[in-house]
Amino acid sequence: MKKILFLLTLLSFTFGFSQCFIEGNSQIKAGESEVYTIKNNTAQCADCHQWSSFGGNVSLEGDVKQHTIKVKGNAGGKTILSLEMLSDKGILRCSKNIDVINPVSQENHSLTSACDVSLDSFREVKVSDGVVSFVPAKSESGVKYEWTAEYENGDKKASSEPTAQFGYSSGNGIKTLMLRVTSSKCMRNFTKTYDANYWRFY
Q: What is the mean pLDDT of residues 140-169?
A: 94
Nearest Cα to Cα of residue 55 among 153, 173, 202, 172: 202
Long-range CB pairs of 90-96, under 8 A, 24+ apart, other chains included: 92/19, 92/20, 92/42, 93/16, 93/17, 93/18, 93/19, 93/20, 94/17, 94/18, 94/19, 94/20, 94/21, 94/22, 94/38, 95/13, 95/14, 95/17, 95/22, 96/22, 96/24, 96/26, 96/36
pLDDT score of 140 more than 90: no
Task: Give 168's pLDDT tier (boundaries 50, 70, 90).
Answer: very high
Taking the complete model, does pTM exceed 0.75, yes or no? Answer: no
Out of 35-44, 145-154, 186-195, which region has the weakest mean confidence (pLDDT)? 186-195
Mean pLDDT for all residues in the chain:
84
Residue 8: predicted pLDDT: 44
Instruction: Tell me if residue 200 falls in helix, strand or coil.
Output: helix
Task: Give 153's pLDDT tier (boundaries 50, 70, 90).
Answer: very high
pLDDT score of 103 more than 80: no
pLDDT score of 72 more than 60: yes
Task: Give 106's pLDDT tier (boundaries 50, 70, 90).
Answer: low
Residue 6: predicted pLDDT: 47
Residue 107: predicted pLDDT: 65
pLDDT score of 2 more than 60: no
Q: What is the mean pLDDT of residues 150-156?
A: 94
Domains, the chain, ordered by start: 2-101 (2.60.40.1080), 105-200 (2.60.40)
pLDDT score of 7 more than 50: no
